[in-house]
Structure 1
Amino acid sequence: MRFLFLLLITISLPVLAQESIVFGVHSNTAPLEWRNNGVDQGFNVELMNRIGQLTDKRIIVRRKSFQQLVKDVHNPNSDIDVIAVVSPVNIDRQLAQSDPIYATHAKAYTLQGKALINNWADLVGKRVAIKKGAFVEVFLSDHLQNFDRVDVDLYETGFKLLTKNQVDVVIAESFVARRLLPLYPSVRSSSDALIYGAFNFVANGTKAKQMYQINEALRQLKISGEYDQLVNKWFGTGREKVDLTSTDNRLFAFVILVAIISAVGLVYTGFISASLRRHTKALDAELIQRKRIEAEISELSKQFQSVLDGIPDGVTIVNKELQHLWSNDNNIHLLVSDEFYYIDHDVFILRMAVLDVLTSQKSLTADMVYQQQFWQLQIHPIAQEQVVILLAESTEQHRLRQANEEASRLASLGELSAGIAHEINNPTGLIVHAVSLFTAAIKDLTPAASHYQKQNPFWLIAGLPPDVAIDELQHSCGTIEEGSKRISRIVNDLKRYAMPHIADEYTQVCLNDVVQVAQRLTANQTKYHQITLKLSESSPMIKGDAQQLHQVLINLIQNACNACLAEQGAIVIETSIEDDIAILSIKDNGCGMNSATLKRITEPFFTTRRNEGGSGLGLSVCSKIIKEHHGEMQIQSSIGKGTQIRLTFALAQ
């Protein structure tokens, strides 16, 4: 596994008695850092300084080669304690790591006017700049590349090559790109996120104590709100489209220039007025000169207006009657669209919003939704019965916030699942042991009860005849045993969901064998349905864990059986090979799923069979196992037509 290491630079005075944390660094330009007048600064620098203060540790930075850092982090005797890593979210690690710190992503950038990049297929045949050592390169190392790759040392080098038409596309990390875009106005963002990454601290397993202290410091920063302040300071909104500071400076320069020219005009006007009284004969020449000056001022005014029109965000000034007094016409049509509403789905009516702001004389700021995009709306009162409306797209910030919240939620869910599984296992074991004892006891007591009933025909057990009571007890024991087994299955699913992945245990597995074993283990469920196997003659082999793959296919077969009507269900299981990809497909003609269910089908604890005993962990565990095997799961379903689930894996070399 390869990592992209971020630059962590801290300055601390040597104190002999103070313990230290040594960070290994391999790059002078980490993606989330930059320099100001030669001084390293950024989110990571401030974060590490605060961690050092909270843990009372001295932060030491040692620079080494990439290969040496990889060896050091796996060597318990190394002089390196911790490294920082940004890697694609689908890459697992065996080393100790901190809580998620921040989520990021990379996407495509092209010149203005070029076609948008909708997916990886749009890069075929293009010259694509990739930064060496970046997490983009880590991701591409495990994915087939169908484009002409151009390696660069920095993302900025890629942007320079793009402006010179020496490359067609740059795939860059978003935080760095947002800093570069104001410097390269001919470059634009041309795609949604193509790769998602997560930022963590990583250490050798022997450094568990230090990692625990770092995690405690991180949690303290998050609880106190200081972490959010750092995030807002370095990654806050407003940097995506326009560098507001430089824009303000340019606008201020224009205003100063207009003011100077206006002052010059006033001087000239005074001079002309005085000259009219003294020099009547020079009136025509002075009038021509005045017209020339007015033309210059008008030209500057037009230039100033063009700057305002060039702002990508919508700016509109309206009065109480909603008449547009001025507008740059950017995205203003959204204000009157029926599909433009508040993020909580309340209806947005422009007239009511404007009247509320004018009445209260207080600004309105709200998050809005339009189709699949997110926007921030601001309405500010200005002159009498006039407001200025600002409209800026915030889709990227919203998605980053969602990704960060999802990473934190899943981390907490994994810890909760492991704790619940441990607490439930003990009483479940007692129940199973007791039921086994009761079943054996009832079996031994049955002849004695029959003998005693012959001597005492009126003898009752719990108000029931002995033979009926014995049957009821046996049935109750069977019910308790079945319930305890169901609890055990749910606990095992919870443990499996929270269990870390160990890739070193993978061996070569034949998908045809996985299908045949799963069919035998589900024979009792599938006997009421028509099962068709279409197994590839070339026996697709993949690297994986056979038992885990059995669990995935058994779960999918059981779901297919539950979706089909008895004696009318048809289930087709097929294996095949396409290029270097092994494919396992299971298709049924059951009830199918709607789009809302499809979006949540792999969420933990989500189930449509709650009343029938479903735990909602089956597909979430399957999804986790497939991701651990570096595979993909595609689900297609229609109400009344059935469902097809297609699993793809890389063929074993």
Structure 2
Amino acid sequence: MKYFALLLLILSIPANAEEAIVFGVHSTTAPLEWRDNGVDQGFNVELMESIGLLLNKPITVRRKTFQQLVSDMHSSDSDVDVIAVVSPVNFRRELAQSDPVYATHAKAFTLQGEDYIDNWSDLVGKRVAIKNGAFVDIFLKNQPQDFTQVKVDLYETGFQMLMSKEVDVVLAENFVARRLQPKYPSVRSASDALIFGAFTFVSHPANAPLLKEINDALRQLKISGEYDRLVNKWFGMGREKFDITSTHQKMLTLSIVISIISAMGMLYTFSVSRSLKYRSEALALELQQRKIAEQKIRSLSQQFQAVLDGIPHGMTIFDKQMQCLWSNDNNQLLTHSQFHYIDGTPFDLAESVKSVIDSKKSFIADMGYLAQYWQVQIHPIADEQAVVLLEENTEQQHLRQANDEASRLASLGELSAGVAHEINNPTGIIIHSIALFAEAMKDLQPAAEYYQQQNPFWLIAGLDPQAAFAEINHSNEVVEESAKRISRIVNDLKCYALPNLSANHQATSLNEVVQVAQRLTANQLKRFQVTVELADPSPIIKGDAQQLHQVLINLIQNACHAMDTTNGHIHLRTAMKGKAAYVSVEDNGSGMDKATLKRITEPFFTTRRSYGGSGLGLSVCSRILKEHHSEMKVTSTLNQGSQFTLVFSAIEPEQSAPFSPISSSTTNSRKPIQ
């Protein structure tokens, strides 16, 4: 039937058809480009033949090596018009390319027992085999990595070098690797996809008109559904498509065996008697029914296997002797030395599996691996067997930690309000008593002067009475100012601890916001040189002062963390420009690189994880600023410092309550801020 369909295809081409398109093929990788009984077929070949029918041009398949085809595409005199190659995503080859034909990827392959490769950094210092001119090679020319590249002519050469330990890792394209793995059982997949690519048709720039026609035909095939039919035919049946050549060989052997058995049966049938004819027919019918049943069972098994392979979480079945009966190849972490309980206790997979099998009770626990969190479930199944499920729950753990931290902060807010109330009472008594002392000293001074005239040698606390009265008055002023400062800080703390109300936006002075934040962070700021520059009059905006205090406090604390105490300098500034009001926090600390700068407002992203940072500060600040319809501009230079500028819409003076003017500039040099 195959050859009959090919004959019909050839006969359907009009006599006046244009010159044939020569399609270069280099691979024997099912299901893309392979050869069965001398006939070239596969997804790329059939897709190109469908394109040829639309363009009214016959397709000639010409098979060469990969390097020959790449060289041909750089020559305008080549006898090959177009080839199919893989290009990395977002990378354009020098040659003309079509629309993407089919997606693929490349990942790392190592020998059994080697460590799992999570990312490019795990390849540092290793010898990595890379096919010369392949899409992995093209990618690495633009994205150099810190490892030794060993160029090979074929992926299979890389696998052979891996077996002989001439290289440590092979970066191979998925379809080819899946075909090669049955031939090299000690080679295993050691990573998730590291590079994503897409098959495209490629030609010399001189063939640009032809490539445009191919592109138009390709789009028509996608619209008509023919493309989907080919995809389903070659990729829709599961894993057997990758090993179709070996499957054909097995089927051929089975056919020969069945033919021999049939021939022997025929001889036996003719040699015995015709009385056994009906019995032979019955046996033939039974054999046919068994074949049909076996085919159905095989198809169901393949579908079930495809479902299991598609599960995103790790699943492994062990027996009591810890033999792996089945796995979807996602269980490497279970035996990793850094895979442990959250409290740091080492995890023993064998002991846990045997305990579950013996007790017939399930086991569920949360685990840690580097900066990730995982949940392990072990359930007893058939006799002396257990299934191990591995699922990543890093995000759930982060959300749980954020919820716990929010609860602690809420409790701290309530406690702060109570402590502030308790401090206010003795502070009020101190202020009242100091006022009484000051008035009493004024009344006592004439009596002291009179007594000094009667007794010239009279001393107060070892001091001359005049000096003693001056010192006492100075002490009263210092105590009174300190008590007032305590009162201001307590009031600021009470306002900061109040619950947030999104609708509580009122006329707010930016200068006052800066001063409150400055007082609340005085303990951190005292180690640095601080310059405060406040606009006069103060910019007035509509907002929630408590939430703005939170934003400024967070920015000031981040600036303190980024600086060295020996020469750290923080500059706080408010300004007005037109209808815009500005607040800026500038430091001369460590600064940030571009990669960090892009992620500073992401929840849970922090560069201070080892110091207890949660990664929520700037994320909360960003949310508050969005509620205030404001904008945060950030400029930062590595090892030079950062500047955070908050831009608000100012309101007209008649829309706001009057505020007392504030001095435009103050400077503080490593002293507690008053």
Same-fold status (TM-score > 0.5):
no
**Range into which the TM-score falls when normalised by the shorter chain:** 0.3 to 0.5
Pick the structure with greater CA Rg.
2
TM-score (norm 2): 0.40
